Structure 1
Amino acid sequence: MAIEKRREEELDIYRPFEEMQKVIDRFFEEFPRIWPTTLSAETFVPAVDISETDKSYEFEVELPGMKKEDVNIEIDDGVLTIRGEKKEEKKEEKKGYKKIERSYGKFERSFSLPSDVDEKNITAKFENGVLNISIPKSPEAKSAKRKIEIK
């Protein structure tokens, strides 16, 4: 029995971590090119809290620094859409350095609503940078609920 030296290409199957590292390196080289341009400094996503009561669904949307005139709410075929634009205030500073961490730009959030909502009686209130949307549940949907006997 003769001892043979393994060829270089045969050794590749014994180096899975090197191959994985090549894939990861290639991903990060391509990352700036494939990253969506829609997620830039001109876009922000407002935080939304959604809760449910016995009578309604409640949406609370944080929109600091915005006015109610900058926000549009629509409902179409069971989908609630909130969109708007937070405009950047241009201030000229005489200082040599300024850092801005506020988000500006257009936003749009859409939510599929359950079938038990009463679309005709939705109300919205905007106060202190918070948008509150109340979507009542339909009384017909409540009465349609019944227990089913298992046979």
Structure 2
Amino acid sequence: MFDLVPFRRRNEDLFGQMLKSFNEAFDQELLAPLHSNTRSFRTDIRETDKGYLIEAELPGFTKEDIEIDVQDKYLTIRAKRNQVDEEKDENGKIIRSERHYGEFARQFYVEGIEEDGIKAKLQDGVLKLDIPKKEKKEPTNKRIGIE
């Protein structure tokens, strides 16, 4: 009829269970889809002595779907998808229709680059950008004569 667990222990277990439930409700892994930016894509950036290499994962996009712009020291990569898949039966009725629309964009602050030297290549769903740095000018010493 009565539990043989001491009252204090049962309260601790109840509190522990409530705390565990609360923590599970706000677990970062469970909420990861809510925290992630669904309008972005993964990138890797490497710096070399001569420039930067950006690799952006854009599976399923063609080069016509991707725009790359440099403006006011910001490099913007934008990919748009407008895909419609329809299946029709022999009478022409649609039995399944799926649509994928969206725009994905990333912006990077780039200073001291040669904008005209940027090269882009899309292969196997990975966009590779080779961005050369501007040549650093060595400081010069100039003696000024006095009149």
Please give the range of the TM-score, normalised by the shorter of the 2 chains: 0.5 to 0.7
Aligned counterpart for 2:80 among listed residues 85, 98, 109: 85
Q: Which has the higher helix share?
A: 1
Distance 1:59 1:120 in 2: 16
Q: Which has the higher strand share?
A: 2
For residue 78 of structure 1, what is the amino acid of its counterpart? Answer: K
Distance 2:108 2:80 in 1: 18
Structure 2 residue runs of 5 or longer lacking an equivalent are 1-33, 90-97, 140-147
8 A contact 2:66–2:78 mirrored in 1 = yes
Q: CA RMSD in A?
A: 4.2
3-state DSSP class of the match of 1:87?
Answer: strand
For residue 140 of structure 1, what is the amino acid of its counterpart? Answer: K
Distance 1:136 1:76 in 2: 16
Using structure 1 for the length normalisation, give the TM-score.
Answer: 0.56
For residue 64 of structure 1, what is the amino acid of its counterpart? Answer: P
Provide the identity percentage. Answer: 40
1:75 and 2:70 aligned: yes
Q: 5 Å matches for 1:54-65?
A: 54-65=49-60
8 A contact 1:44–1:104 mirrored in 2 = no
Give the total of aligned pairs.
Answer: 122
For residue 72 of structure 1, what is the amino acid of its counterpart? Answer: E
Aligned counterpart for 1:139 among listed residues 112, 131, 135: 135
Partner of 1:50: 45
Distance 1:136 1:109 in 2: 19
Partner of 1:127: 123
1:107 and 2:138 aligned: no
